Amino acid sequence: MTAHQGDVVTARRRILDANWPYRLLTFVLFAAAWELYARERGGLLLPGFAETVRATSWLLADAELWRALYVSNQALVLGFGLALVVGVPAGIVLGRFRLLERYTDVYLNILLVTPMAAIIPLLVMSVGVGLASRVLLVTVFSVVMVVVNCRTGVRQVDPSLIEMARSFGAGEGRIWTRILLPGALPAIMTGARLGIGRAVTGMVIVELLMVSDGLGGLILRYRGLLQAPQLYGTVVIILAEALLLISLARWGERKLTRWARTQTTGGAR
């Protein structure tokens, strides 16, 4: 085999080992199936893929969409920020002190199993229709994922490390800063990544069900006017934002927990 042939084989192997060719192929197949189905069975309420792409491009050039994004993301940023401020310390404390968890575990289970759409009327009646209710709902949607993952991360820290630190005279504060927090960091970042997906869901649901504003208001408006391409385009933009935020969270997770993967790889060797 010549050097040129070897380079071709290596390049081909890299392409086959990468994820993006399979993702691109899946997207092309999905777009083709959508377009064919819309042409055969679609109608007023089901636009084709190409028509949805054109409507999405039109929406991105419309100032009304950017106003809706600004309104919706106010609740998203404030609500998810509050979920992190409350959820990370709460999860770490619950993971550290088992006695305290006995009194709060039932409430976490309630938040995990309760349909959040049923809570929206209660929040609106108690807080009112406005930014406060939307922020609070986004927080309720996302905080439970943050708390549960942070608690799990603390529980996964090797107890022998804590005992060793105590045998060398380390106090509780040093155990937290040198052992518990670094050991739980991968789980904390995972909780943030999962929580941000739930936060986007809460942001849209509260606007759809109770507060007709922002992106949810646009969806309701286009649905009422039977403007299916704009409706689908708005949903596509929401999905794109959610994927972008999750990708950013995953990137931050890789950067901050690179040492954990290095230790895992070294241990596997």
Work out the pLDDT band at 174, boundaries 50, 70, 90.
Answer: confident
Answer yes or no: are the C-beta atoms of 215 and 68 closer than 8 Å: yes
In a domain, 39, yes or no: no
DSSP-assigned letters across all residues of 39-86: HHH--TT---HHHHHHHHHHHHT-HHHHHHHHHHHHHHHHHHHHHHHH
SS3 string of 101-116?
A: HHHHHHHHHHHHHCCH
Residue 17: Cβ-neighbour burial (10 angstroms; 0-12, 13-18, 19+): exposed
Answer yes or no: are the C-beta atoms of 238 and 115 closer than 8 Å: no
Give the per-residue pLDDT at 265: 42
CA distance 237 to 21: 23
In a domain, 144, yes or no: yes
Average confidence (pLDDT) over 251-269: 61
Give the per-residue pLDDT at 214: 83
pLDDT of 14 > 50? The answer is: yes
In a domain, 41, yes or no: no
Lowest mean pLDDT among 26-40, 57-71, 167-181: 167-181
Work out the pLDDT band at 268, boundaries 50, 70, 90.
Answer: very low
Q: What is the CATH number of the domain that holds 244?
A: 1.10.3720.10
Q: What Å distances lie between residue 57 and 31, 221, 232, 242, CA to CA?
A: 16, 18, 12, 18
With residue 14 as reference, give the H or E element that holds it.
helix 3-17
pLDDT of 266 > 60? The answer is: no
Average confidence (pLDDT) over 12-34: 74
Work out the pLDDT band at 267, boundaries 50, 70, 90.
Answer: very low
In a domain, 181, yes or no: yes
Report which residue type is found at 55: A
Work out the pLDDT band at 2, boundaries 50, 70, 90.
Answer: low
Q: What is the DSSP letter of 27?
A: H
Answer yes or no: are the C-beta atoms of 128 and 134 closer than 8 Å: no
Residue 91, token pair as written in the block: 């999860």
Q: What is the pLDDT of residues 40-62, one digit of tens each?
A: 876 677 888 888 899 999 999 98
In a domain, 204, yes or no: yes
Selected residue with higher pLDDT from 148 and 174:
148
Q: Structurally, how many domains does the chain consist of?
A: 1
In a domain, 174, yes or no: yes
CA distance 147 to 95: 9
Selected residue with higher pLDDT from 86 and 157:
86
Give the per-residue pLDDT at 259: 58
In a domain, 21, yes or no: no
Work out the pLDDT band at 12, boundaries 50, 70, 90.
Answer: low
B/e letters for 178-202, b = 16+ CB within 10 Å, e = fewer, are: ebbbebbbbbbbbbbbbbbbbbbbb
Selected residue with higher pLDDT from 143 and 15:
143
In a domain, 11, yes or no: no
Cα separation of the two ends of the chain: 32
Answer yes or no: are the C-beta atoms of 202 and 141 closer than 8 Å: yes
* Domain range enclosing 53: 49-268
Q: What is the pLDDT of residues 201-228, one digit of tens each?
A: 888 888 887 777 788 888 888 888 888 8
Work out the pLDDT band at 13, boundaries 50, 70, 90.
Answer: low
